[in-house]
Structure 1
Amino acid sequence: MDQAVCCYRHPDRETGVRCTRCERPICPECMVSASVGFQCPECISESHQSSPRPRTVAGGTMVANPRLITTILIGINIAVFLAVQAQGSKLVADLALVGAWPPPPFHATIGVAEGQYYRLLTAIFLHQQLIHIGFNMLSLWWIGPGLEVALGRARYLTLYLLSGLGGSALSFLVAGAGSESLGASGAIFGLLGATFVLMRRLNYDLRPIVAIIVLNLLFTFAQSQTIDWRAHVGGLVTGTVIAYGMVHAPRERRALVQWGTCAAMGLVIIGAVAAGVMRING
């Protein structure tokens, strides 16, 4: 007489069904319907872990929270803004970007030319007025998540930071001597340029994003006495170039092209800053 076969997870339950992958006996409670027959819970779990995660057009992985990096960036900006409100103009003077123009005999006494390179980064998280940070953070909240999903978190964060640094570099190179530049606008313009590239890659209607970019540029130049157009243009160009390399990179060399584009733009930024320092220090 044949010995009764019991479920491997429930030894007290007889069964005549086996997992189609590992052939272990499974009872009705342990059966998981598969494309062919039934599988046990362990095999189903292993198949989920081994199956590749879906990728976006730029190679980003699908995530549960598409606003994680965007929320962190907004949080940093708000934290710095609150610190400015508490410390006053002294903190702004310590963190803002100072222009490098005109050439010698002008000599800078503070800023990047004196080795304070951190100002290139701190300036893009620095705001003084509520309307300034409010507009920038609303723009980041609206624009950021779509790019965060499409590019992936690491690429998105790199795009944001390099766009901001690109704006800072151009501002430092050609802004008036002693003029202060601050705000996330350069990084936001970089995200606008990246959105244009992504929408073009996906064959979306480009008219809305083109209209937004043009209107923002018109407003920027119309208010050039109070708005640093150099940071906006530098961020826009940097973000557009980086995004093009990210979304048009061939799949077989995707990482090489994407990070190579970022490295190339990083070198351009370094070159612009070096040129500004050389101009001041003669």
Structure 2
Amino acid sequence: MAQDSEALYNLIYIAEGSICLAIDGEELTLNPGSFALWDSARPMTFITGAGLRQITLAVPQRELLLALPRAGEFVGRRFAATSGLSRLFVDHLISLDARFGELPRGNAGHVLHASVELLASTLSAQAEPCAGRSGKIVLQGVMAYIGRHLDDPELDTRRVASDCGITERHLHRLFERADTTAAAWIRRQRLDRCRRDLRAAETAHLSITQIAYRWGFGDSSSFSKIFKREFASSPKDYRAAGGFSSQARRASSGWAT
């Protein structure tokens, strides 16, 4: 699809096995069902895992940039072909890989052009907050993502990085600039939500354990220890100091009159 001297965007899809790409010093691991875009004009190294089977689509940069002027923003990001346009594109890519040689010469160019348009639409549909922006804006997007998922006990730095389309290394660098770590930020946001709920009238009917679970803590014992270490008060004492005794909580739940 391209002349040898042309600058290319190479899309790599992993059907089996795995591969680790290093683009501009950032590592990106691709597993089955995921794909990424890389720029032939930028340094890239890779380490392949056992049993690797991949499909690569080489697209002239000028062609993709005509269809998607901000195509460069998507270089070095991992995408999962699980549903929607990304799944449709990968199904098309697999079919293209298997059947392209059967096409009449006159139809090949039209099919490749349609493939570029579908790729552009697929990338445009990726709406993670981390795409191709300054470090400050990327960090804001990551923090917003964390805030929306604090109730998920499975939320960790690997999940945040994957869903935001960046590497864990990049994630840690972003939070270093904010003088904290990603894990510490997640923990502090959860604690702040719990602290708020312990003194909020609308959550007075919830037990301390329920509040801890509500914000992603796995058990009340570890939550109490972390809370006391952070705020120099146990959750029970902190709630009582706010005026919500057990009698008041029963009343708010309709247990007492």
Q: TM-score, normalised by structure 2?
A: 0.22
In our comparison, the structure showing a higher alpha carbon Rg is 1
Q: TM-score, normalised by structure 1?
A: 0.20
The answer to which structure has the higher helix fraction is: 1
The answer to which structure has the higher strand fraction is: 2
Q: Which structure is richer in relative contact order (CA contacts within 8 A, separation 6 or more)? A: 1
